[in-house]
């Protein structure tokens, strides 16, 4: 209550304050029949008793007629609630304030929606009136938790470990590869700035500059449509260190998260487990596994290789052919035939992958189209290999290793959703399973042209020390020194040890990726002036906080987010500008015909 004219907040009064004269400021949450109202501020609620005597008739009239969500000042005496009228669910539920004077500071007009967490509102309406939505308990709680975590992160990095908080430019130039960047016109004809998708180049240049340890709560930009876990503008905890290896970065981040972790959430233990990219794909079908539940992908090629099943033998005849399966616990009990059909249809439509189901009956026998091709011994081996229990359902896929794993990985998550919807608790939202994924490929074939290579992350990642020679002979086999941090099946951070040799960086850009290295000439030249070995990481702050508070979207942990299409519905941005405003930037807008007609009308 420092610097302000209130004596207390609406959430702090207790029985110990009885008899004290207090002044409270807040919003009218609720008013009942001119007898009492509930006053709300950022910290909580207090019940205000409206005086009924003639001497305070003006106070009664004022408070009885105050519209919900009006801002009022109330001065009165803290009193104990009458016996039997206490509310143990409210922290202030044992007291009330008997109003003596009051003032309506600002009356509220009719609301577009009720400001209560349990009232359902469309997201578009919430974002149009974001300043009202921010009054809700949940958004207040989310933003305050975010603030506390960021402050603790600053303490850990700057005060305890000597990091330097440096602000890097948001107006820069285009970076080759990666996500699309927003362009910003300049007054020089034909020349544009770019908004950086991350401070990647600047933080590397800070290491060349000898700062040793850099940190920033960085605003970043991607010219992409919004998704539940992505926005065109977002925030990351950006970190870079000199003279560090992968293990050093991992220990730093584990310590950072443990130090800043909210006390009210389940404890996290370190060190976090680690898995290679290849292991993650083989066991979970994805590079961001949710390890809160089992249902791992299992390879049963050895069990079925001796069978006469045509599609099995056909799959195993290919170089990377395999037979894999996932076992859905209690699938018969929790999944309908329609559910099983939707799982198979999903694999077919997304991956062109056929799925075969196997059910273990209560008597222990198997029900499947496969059983007529399998003897008792093979069926027994299959049950043992998959650890099938009664009423379990197995989904089996045959084909190329990567495709089969990806399909089963998607079905694993789809099945988990169906099981939970049917009442089987699989993934506890209050537990937090962190996982490091390491040894990613340094290069992958381009989707549009598989004969060309691209960087899965960015072109500054160093090759694995054991694979450096392959960089020059067979770059497709090179592992990278990239590492991702995964939380409950979501990527919340990614980083790498960087290339610090100008010669190697130039080779990667020009010979492997076929990029014009001139765009990055400033960085390559910097590496020639005694650049130290260095590495770093960026944590996606929005996504991390949304997982901690179990929010359905990162928009619920950002004060003023963009819509699904990247629009600001409150301020109606982006918006049109006049030709006169565009003139200094040497830009003319070429309108599609239908938009031309719409603007005329």
**CATH code assigned at 344:** 3.30.1360.30
Find the mean pLDDT for residues 183-204. 95
pTM: 0.93
The sign one gets for the Cα dihedral 67, 68, 71, 75 is: positive
Question: What is the structure's pLDDT at 565?
Answer: 84
Kind of pairing, strands 444-445 and 21-32? Answer: unpaired
Question: What is the structure's pLDDT at 599?
Answer: 58
Phi-psi region of 387 (alpha: psi -120 to 50; beta: other; left: phi over 0): left
Are 246 and 299 found together in one domain? no
Q: Which residue among 391, 422, 453 closes a domain?
A: 422
The residues near 362 (Cβ < 8 Å, ≥ 6 apart) are 390, 391
Residue with tokens 């050093």: 248
Contact indicator for 465, 472 with CB cutoff of 8 Å = no
Q: Say how far apart CA 587 and CA 579 lie, in whole Å.
A: 8
Instruction: Flag whether 94 is in a domain.
Output: yes
Question: What is the structure's pLDDT at 309?
Answer: 87
Question: What is the structure's pLDDT at 225?
Answer: 67
Token duo for residue 371: 């059983």
Question: What is the structure's pLDDT at 178?
Answer: 63
What are the start-end ranges of the H helices in 97-209? 123-128, 130-133, 137-154, 200-208
- Among candidates 191, 194, 201, which has minimal Cα distance to 180? 194
Q: Say how far apart CA 543 and CA 493 lie, in whole Å.
A: 9
Token duo for residue 30: 């609720």
Task: Compute CA 231 distance to the chain's CA centroid, rounded to the nearest angstrom.
Answer: 10
Q: Say how far apart CA 5 and CA 143 lie, in whole Å.
A: 25
Are 309 and 413 found together in one domain? yes
Are 160 and 95 found together in one domain? no
Are 415 and 347 found together in one domain? yes
Q: Say how far apart CA 81 and CA 526 lie, in whole Å.
A: 71
Provide the pLDDT confidence category of residue 157 given band limits of 50, 70 and 90. very high
Are 186 and 298 found together in one domain? no
For 327-378, how does the pLDDT look when each residue is reduced to its tens digit (9 = 90+)?
A: 999 999 999 999 999 999 999 999 999 999 999 999 999 999 888 888 888 8
HSE-up (13 A, CA, CB side) for residue 7? 12
Find the mean pLDDT for residues 412-429. 94
CATH of the domain at 503: 3.30.930.10
Q: Kindly calculate the radius of gyration of the chain based on its CA atoms and give it in whole angstroms.
A: 30
Task: Compute CA 592 distance to the chain's CA centroid, rounded to the nearest angstrom.
Answer: 36
What are the start-end ranges of the H helices in 305-362? 310-316, 331-334, 337-351
Q: Say how far apart CA 73 and CA 6 lie, in whole Å.
A: 9
Question: What is the structure's pLDDT at 595?
Answer: 61
Q: Say how far apart CA 233 and CA 224 lie, in whole Å.
A: 10
DSSP 508: I
Phi, psi values for residue 237, rounded to 5°: -85, 105
Instruction: Flag whether 372 is in a domain.
Output: yes
**What is the DSSP secondary-structure string of 371-396?**
GGGS-HHHHHHHHHHHT--TT-EEEE
CATH of the domain at 85: 2.40.50.140
Contact indicator for 284, 409 with CB cutoff of 8 Å = yes
Sheet architecture: strand order including 321-328? 298-299, 321-328, 393-400, 356-360, 366-367
HSE-up (13 A, CA, CB side) for residue 424? 15
Share of the chain above pLDDT 90, in %: 87
The sign one gets for the Cα dihedral 558, 563, 565, 570 is: negative
Phi-psi region of 71 (alpha: psi -120 to 50; beta: other; left: phi over 0): beta
For 540-584, how does the pLDDT look when each residue is reduced to its tens digit (9 = 90+)?
A: 999 999 999 999 899 999 999 998 888 999 999 999 999 999 999
Find the mean pLDDT for residues 397-411. 96
Instruction: Flag whether 120 is in a domain.
Output: no
Instruction: Flag whether 584 is in a domain.
Output: no
Length of the chain: 601
Instruction: Flag whether 101 is in a domain.
Output: yes
Q: Say how far apart CA 16 and CA 68 lie, in whole Å.
A: 29
Are 412 and 489 found together in one domain? no
Question: What is the structure's pLDDT at 175?
Answer: 77
The CB density around residue 98, as the number of other CB atoms within 10 Å, is 15
Instruction: Flag whether 188 is in a domain.
Output: yes
SS3 592: coil
The residues near 70 (Cβ < 8 Å, ≥ 6 apart) are 27, 28, 104, 106, 107, 108
Question: What is the structure's pLDDT at 206?
Answer: 98
Peptide bond preceding 271 in cis form (omega within 30 of 0): yes
Instruction: Flag whether 310 is in a domain.
Output: yes
Find the mean pLDDT for residues 269-297. 97
Whether pLDDT at 177 is above 90 = no
Whether pLDDT at 312 is above 80 = yes
For 206-246, how does the pLDDT look when each residue is reduced to its tens digit (9 = 90+)?
A: 999 999 999 999 999 999 766 666 799 999 999 999 999 99
Contact indicator for 285, 297 with CB cutoff of 8 Å = yes
- DSSP H or E stretch at residue 525: helix 521-527
Question: What is the structure's pLDDT at 463?
Answer: 98
Whether pLDDT at 176 is above 90 = no
Are 253 and 305 found together in one domain? no
- Among candidates 250, 297, 267, which has minimal Cα distance to 435? 250
Find the mean pLDDT for residues 586-592. 89
Instruction: Flag whether 181 is in a domain.
Output: yes
Q: Which residue among 63, 88, 106 closes a domain?
A: 106
Contact indicator for 204, 520 with CB cutoff of 8 Å = no
Mean pLDDT, the chain, rounded, equals 94
Question: What is the structure's pLDDT at 593?
Answer: 64
How many structural domains comprise the chain? Answer: 3
Domain that holds residue 416: 293-422
Are 157 and 68 found together in one domain? no
Q: Which residue among 389, 404, 422 closes a domain?
A: 422
Are 82 and 196 found together in one domain? no
Are 234 and 314 found together in one domain? no
Question: What is the structure's pLDDT at 120?
Answer: 83
Q: Say how far apart CA 351 and CA 337 lie, in whole Å.
A: 21
Are 99 and 168 found together in one domain? no
Q: Say how far apart CA 402 and CA 399 lie, in whole Å.
A: 9
Q: Say how far apart CA 227 and CA 457 lie, in whole Å.
A: 19
The residues near 55 (Cβ < 8 Å, ≥ 6 apart) are none
Peptide bond preceding 574 in cis form (omega within 30 of 0): yes
Q: Say how far apart CA 566 and CA 232 lie, in whole Å.
A: 6
Find the mean pLDDT for residues 437-451. 94
For 72-89, how does the pLDDT look when each residue is reduced to its tens digit (9 = 90+)?
A: 999 999 999 999 999 999
- Among candidates 204, 280, 215, 234, which has minimal Cα distance to 437? 280
Token duo for residue 596: 């031309």
Kind of pairing, strands 95-106 and 44-49? Answer: parallel
Whether pLDDT at 17 is above 90 = yes
Are 259 and 369 found together in one domain? no
Considering only the C-alpha atoms of the chain, give the largest distance between any 2 of them, rounded to a whole number of Å: 97
Q: Say how far apart CA 199 and CA 216 lie, in whole Å.
A: 9
């Amino acid at each position: 209550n420092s610097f302000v004219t209130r004596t207390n907040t609406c959430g702090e009064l207790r029985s110990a304050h009885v008899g004290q004269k207090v002044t409270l400021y807040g919003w009218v949450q609720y008013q009942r029949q001119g007898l009492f109202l509930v006053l709300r501020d950022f910290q909580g609620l207090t019940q205000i008793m409206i005086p009924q005597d003639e001497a305070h008739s003006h106070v009664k009239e004022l408070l009885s007629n105050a519209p919900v969500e009006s801002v009022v000042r109330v001065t009165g005496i803290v009193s104990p609630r009458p016996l039997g009228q206490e509310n143990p669910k409210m922290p202030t539920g044992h007291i009330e304030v008997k109003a003596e004077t009051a003032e309506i500071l600002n009356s509220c007009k009719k609301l577009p929606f009720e400001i209560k967490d349990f009232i359902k509102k469309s997201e578009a309406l919430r974002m149009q009136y974001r300043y009202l939505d921010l009054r809700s308990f949940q958004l207040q709680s989310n933003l305050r938790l975010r603030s506390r975590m960021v402050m603790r992160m600053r303490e850990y990095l700057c005060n305890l470990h000597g990091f330097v908080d440096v602000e890097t430019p948001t107006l820069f130039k285009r970076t080759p590869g990666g996500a699309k960047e927003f362009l910003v016109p300049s007054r020089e004809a034909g020349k544009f700035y770019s908004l950086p998708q991350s401070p990647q180049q600047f933080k590397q240049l800070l290491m060349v500059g000898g700062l040793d340890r850099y940190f920033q709560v960085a605003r970043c930009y991607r010219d992409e449509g919004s998704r539940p876990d992505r926005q065109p503008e977002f925030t990351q905890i950006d970190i870079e260190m000199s003279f560090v290896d992968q293990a050093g970065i991992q220990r730093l981040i584990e310590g950072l998260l443990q130090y800043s972790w909210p006390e009210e959430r389940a404890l996290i233990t370190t060190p976090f487990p680690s898995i290679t990219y290849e292991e993650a794909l083989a066991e979970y079908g994805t590079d961001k596994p949710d390890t809160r539940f089992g249902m791992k992908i299992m390879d049963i090629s050895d069990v079925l290789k001796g069978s006469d099943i045509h599609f099995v033998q056909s799959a195993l005849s290919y170089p990377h052919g395999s037979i894999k399966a996932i076992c859905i616990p209690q699938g018969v009990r929790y999944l309908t035939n329609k559910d099983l059909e939707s799982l198979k249809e999903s694999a077919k439509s997304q991956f062109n992958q056929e799925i075969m189901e196997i059910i273990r009956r209560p008597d222990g026998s198997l029900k499947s189209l496969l059983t007529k091709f399998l003897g008792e011994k093979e069926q027994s081996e299959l049950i043992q290999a998959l650890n099938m229990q009664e009423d379990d359902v197995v989904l089996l896929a045959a084909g190329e290793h990567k495709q089969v794993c990806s399909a089963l990985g998607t079905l694993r998550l789809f099945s988990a959703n169906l099981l939970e919807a049917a009442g089987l608790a699989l993934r506890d939202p209050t537990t937090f399973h962190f996982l490091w994924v390491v040894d990613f490929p340094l290069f992958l074939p381009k989707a549009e042209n598989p004969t060309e290579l691209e960087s899965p992350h960015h072109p500054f990642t160093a090759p694995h020390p054991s694979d450096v020679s392959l960089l020059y002979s067979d770059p497709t086999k090179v592992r990278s020194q990239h590492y991702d941090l995964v939380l409950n099946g979501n990527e919340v951070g990614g980083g790498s040890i960087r290339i610090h040799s100008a010669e190697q960086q130039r080779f990667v850009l020009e010979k492997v990726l076929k990029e014009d290295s001139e765009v990055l000439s400033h960085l390559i030249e910097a590496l020639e002036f005694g650049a130290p070995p260095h590495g770093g990481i960026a944590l996606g702050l929005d996504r991390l906080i949304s997982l901690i508070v179990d929010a359905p979207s990162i928009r619920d942990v950002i004060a003023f987010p963009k819509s699904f299409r990247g629009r600001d519905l409150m301020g109606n941005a982006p918006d049109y500008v006049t030709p006169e405003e565009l003139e200094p930037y040497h830009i003319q807008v070429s309108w599609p015909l239908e938009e031309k007609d719409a603007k005329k009308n």
